[in-house]
Structure 1
């Protein structure tokens, strides 16, 4: 069964057709592959490492937090029984540090190559661009753009190194939509972690949104040329996800609309990583809700009683992003509809939960 629909493939961009997410994939397809992950000591990165190691992949991950990274590697080795899980200290904003991570990954790889590179490392924090200046002084101090350093420069370094090392993967072949992921030899895959901020502006976070818009632009540019080296490029753009990175004020701002789950982000990333037939595609991952296209093709929220399977994943930019704005608007309208359907009670419950989380009373879901 094909992993994608039967739509005609674009002739100007070498990519697979729009995804059919109802078609299952097998996460065990990652077995035997070597995967490099930046920012793997926590958040999505640690969840990726745990998932893929559990299915038999060799995973080398880097992070600036040495103590946490070492502990995560030991814990995952113990949980999965997979000894091919390795932590390497890495500061993604430092070129030589990333070079060392890639070199070490090649040494630790059972087959001497890297199959997938996941440019995951990223940060979100208070944005000095929004309120930059003390107006009582003669001129502002030079700002430090830490989010841009990590979220953009670090990702550019990772991408550059991926383009160097992925084609040097022994035994690998050019990726095509016609490959068999169950039997495909060495893969060549670059996976980006974008954000809903890659697609839409985020109030009070212009620096973060700028960095994630840039990652989206990088993905869209690379997917048009990476086929020449047999490399497939994909991107996962999480909506607001229920993690410790999600501050209380944002939880209140979207109260009643729901948060996405880490496991759904991991599932989307695993589909891209495991299925070598998927080239040049991207998805947004949000709260799991019941949606169905109307006669105009726009997604509509059907309510929790609707007799259909809920979904947390939408491909929002099929056919070279022609419908990106419309698709993002459809998702936002759907979330607004959920808020309206749940009413003030749902809004109040989410606000109370957000406040509890902010003062340290929120537990893991």
Structure 2
């Protein structure tokens, strides 16, 4: 929410008015009176009067302490997992007589989490842990880090001349915030605003600022970042981790999809796969294995009864298929090749149920049976060769 971002507000103030020589944030005297005067002037504008009337309020409903009181009210009641009442009171500057600094003390963790709530960050989202805009080294190289540090220093000397040494780190975040919210500032502020007369929006500095703008990020913390998130409640930390795992799963799904598509293109004719191409490929495989099935009800029959029938495409012989070990076979798992005379075996070879000549190694359940089938086929093929000779 750049509208209420304290870093962006401080950046605009420093860029336009500079720094007070006496070390005070706001120059001059009677800051209280000046703030009240500006506040009343804004609240008495016509557009504000209309807006306040819609919520049954007027300009007199607000004063110099309204921001502090309203922020305390919001933080104490906006969430069931908000900061402690003591942390809110200490941040608001309200004393706790009898216990403050004795039993209830200031701690950085409570102060930080109150600051995140007051900044308007979404407390029910992983974005509650978001970092402020900052300069990130995209390549992770030391050379780029040196160049980035040098360019940031040059930009700060131009935009924040005379910055005190104790505000140098603060002004780096201010510079990053100005660059990150450039579009928002151009859209929101009037064209006559003094900020547009500063080097931030100077055309002569555009190339340098554009280079810096490309290296400004605003996101949740990552490994090896130069800064880390502070004031993060435990449940927000869990949400951040879950959001990370979700993004990784989405990325994994996309990567698998691309990898599968690439594999299809690479292994199937080197072209884009289609349903027609898939059907043709499967039909070719089934035809080579003599397992082509033309009727859908046969598949259902196989699922219900673990049996089905197929038609050999070469001679039209119909045979039963038996399901075992997860695939279809022409004989049962415990089938044994018949023994007997050559005549008996020849009859089974040509007209058995099923004909033995239709069997393959795939139909045999053991290595020994496969060897015997191979030997039987060799003998039967020799007999067929002899029977087809002209002299016989």
TM-score range, shorter chain: under 0.3
Question: Which of structures 1 and 2 has the bigger CA Rg?
Answer: 2
Higher percent of residues as strand: 1
The TM-score with structure 2 as length reference comes to: 0.15
The TM-score with structure 1 as length reference comes to: 0.16
Higher relative contact order (CA 8 A, sep 6+): 1
